[in-house]
Amino acid sequence: MRASRTQLIALTASILGSAVVFLDGTIVNVALPAIRAGLHGGLAEQQWVVEAYLLTLSSLLLVGGSLGDLFGRRRVFASGLAAFGACSLLCALAPSAGLLIGARAAQGIAGALLVPSTLALIMDTFGEQQRAGAIGSWTAWTGIATVVGPLGGGALVQLASWRWIFAINLVPVTITLVLLSRLPPDSRSPGHVDLLGAALCALGLGGPVFALIEQPVYGWSDGRVIVPLLAGVLLLAVFLLWERRSPEPMMPLHLFTNRNFAVGNLTTLLLYAGLGVATFFLVLFIQQVGGYKPIEAGLALLPITIMLFALSRRFGSLADRLGPHAFMAGGPLVAGTGLLLLMRAGASASYLGQILPGVLVFGLGMAATVAPLTATVLGSVQPGHSGLASGVNNAVARVAGLLAIAALGAVVAGSFASRLDHDLRGSPLSAAARLAVRHARARPLVTDAGAVPVGQRAAVHHALVDASVHAFRIGIGIGAGLALVGGVVALVGIVNPRRPTPEARRSLFAHRERLELDRVERQADLAEVSAEWRQMDAALHGFGPARTLDRIQHLRLRLQNLIGDRIVDRLAGEPDQPQALEVVQVRGHPVAVPTSRLGPDHVQPRRHQLRAHAE
């Protein structure tokens, strides 16, 4: 079925709106080395530039879904989009790392408002038979934005400045606002916004993320690490308790009683953790260790973009026909295998021999998973909760990247420092060299040994490279393990929706054929009566009064029969609660009609006429 103009506008606006948010989640990765150099930061600042955005985005996505249901998808979508553009401009103008991180946090808040409304807008605009294809298109294009970010970001960084990766957002934001202004008015649902739940979620996630990022600097025993960690875990427990008891929670826990919804979101958490590891650490590694230029680093992930674009819609349609189970189980297993292949990368990071095979396999796994996964999660709830379900699933995906980058960042930093100490143990280093190594331990995946005296620079550089390769392989290996576990979870937990048996499908087809035949017969009867009426009107003056009245009475009775058919068909097609029925004779057949549907203005007179005709 061909999409209407309104559907095409809604789909295009949803794709552009989601793409600009997802694009900003990955476009920054390729610019992190330039941001570190321009704002004089280290790995912690690089992580915060990414994590501040993901923290507010993931923790407030659920509020964004509730706001969309409450105030209307289009209104919340447009408000979040305008705020996102303003925050992007602030990021482009930020003079320091602290201000950039603050602007990124505000940008995430704006993104949380608009993302849930994009999928919900698709669910509201497209019919049930069209949704799978529309969601497949949305998945393909937004997935492309997620992965094309490093390519576009690399070009902007290399040809202009890292600040342009934020300023460029104003173009799609403006186009999307124009498209949204052409959509029909919103529909709303009653409810309220769970502000307390949102605050508990944001603070609960923020505590562990802060602890994991700052742990390499202060250590696990420092109060600046252990206090936020424990406080965050406690607040997350309070959040779950509050959501369980709140009359209108932002994340209704009862949704997770649906098997496919719960398992689908768990699979999302594990798979997108692997994606976060790949897009963050791989891009850092091949630039800072492998020596790739920003554009080359962006091109390294281009095959994933091509595969998502070419295959997502096809896999979505296949899953709609065959069921999502095989795709949601096999896709993460394939993606995890691709990450395992990336563990072969060494200091040279040879693209054809070490990077490309893993990227191709990982991209195939993602393409096979994302569309069936999204459709399964949204299809497992009632249509009125699609905005909320979209918010939950998007929040889970963002939380996955948030926690993966924070946790694996700590693992990578620890592995890097441990391996560096091991490689330099017993080496006779001067005081200046030891000081340079001490500073280098706080900058994982950076191999610059320029501060080391010339005589010892080669040995320290070799140790930095070896430690970086070792730490990268450990991080990628853990990400691969998470994706593989996601496939096993889907294999065990996802259940294909029940489909009609062949007998039921044949019965439904036969019923539709009967309805179509009845419709054609009624149209033929109406056409015949209309023709007779016109003939009678043309020859009316040629008949006597008695014969004219006979013809009028004959036509009146035929029209009553046709009107009775339409009334009965309409009433039979509408579900009713148990109520009083009245038997009416229509064309010689008794028909039970609900008395509540026989209104005094329109249907009641027809009932008396039908009785008169029957008598």
Q: What is the pLDDT of residues 360-380, one digit of tens each?
A: 999 999 989 988 888 888 877
| Vertex 365 angle, CA 391 and 478, to 5° | 80
Nearest to 412 by CA among 280, 298, 292: 280
CA distances from 149 to 37, 167, 303 (A): 20, 14, 13
Enter the tokens of residue 294.
């920003």
Q: How many residues comprise the chain?
A: 615
HEC-encoded secondary structure of 75-135:
HHHHHHHHHHHHHHHHHHHCCCHHHHHHHHHHHHHHHHHHHHHHHHHHHHHCCHHHHHHHH
Cβ atoms of 464 and 447 within 8 Å: the answer is yes
Enter the tokens of residue 479.
């990400």
Nearest to 203 by CA among 59, 51, 85, 314: 59
H or E stretch covering 586? strand 581-586
Enter the tokens of residue 344.
């072969």
SS3 5: helix
CA distances from 355 to 140, 349, 361, 363, 383 (A): 23, 7, 11, 12, 42
Name the burial class of residue 199, with classes exposed (0-12), middle (13-18) and buried (19+) by CB atoms within 10 angstroms of its CB. middle
Cβ atoms of 48 and 98 within 8 Å: the answer is no
What superfamily in CATH does domain 5-184+250-423+464-493 come from? MFS general substrate transporter like domains (1.20.1250.20)
DSSP 584: E
Place of tokens 């069209």: 130
Enter the tokens of residue 92.
């482009």
pLDDT of res. 584: 44
Dihedral pair phi/psi, residue 593, rounded to 5°: -115, 130
Name the burial class of residue 426, with classes exposed (0-12), middle (13-18) and buried (19+) by CB atoms within 10 angstroms of its CB. exposed
Q: What's the rounded Cα separation, in Å, for the pair 326 and 475?
A: 28
pLDDT of res. 205: 87
In sequence order, the β-bridge partners of residue 401 are: none
Strands (E), 253-295: none
DSSP per position, 519-530: HHHHHHHHHHHH
Cβ atoms of 176 and 11 within 8 Å: the answer is no
Name the burial class of residue 488, with classes exposed (0-12), middle (13-18) and buried (19+) by CB atoms within 10 angstroms of its CB. middle
pLDDT of res. 360: 94
DSSP 588: T
Cβ atoms of 250 and 261 within 8 Å: the answer is no
| Vertex 290 angle, CA 287 and 292, to 5° | 45
Q: What's the rounded Cα separation, in Å, for the pair 491 and 328?
A: 7
Residue 351 identity (one-letter amino acid): Y
Q: What's the rounded Cα separation, in Å, for the pair 579 and 214?
A: 67
pLDDT of res. 8: 87
SS3 content of the chain, % helix, strand, coil (to 5): 80, 0, 20
DSSP 585: E
H or E stretch covering 150? helix 128-159
Nearest to 82 by CA among 169, 182, 198: 169
Nearest to 105 by CA among 147, 63, 58: 58
| Vertex 302 angle, CA 301 and 304, to 5° | 75
H or E stretch covering 606? helix 603-614
H or E stretch covering 411? helix 386-424
Q: Consecutive 10-residue runs of the chain (615 residues): their mean pLDDT? A: 75 86 79 84 82 84 73 82 92 90 92 80 75 76 70 83 90 90 72 80 88 82 89 92 83 84 91 85 88 86 82 84 88 94 89 92 91 83 69 80 86 89 84 83 79 83 90 92 93 80 63 69 66 60 58 62 52 44 44 44 42 41
Taking each helix axis as running N to C, give the angle between helix 259-277 and helix 386-424, from 0 to 180 degrees, rounded to the nearest 10.
40
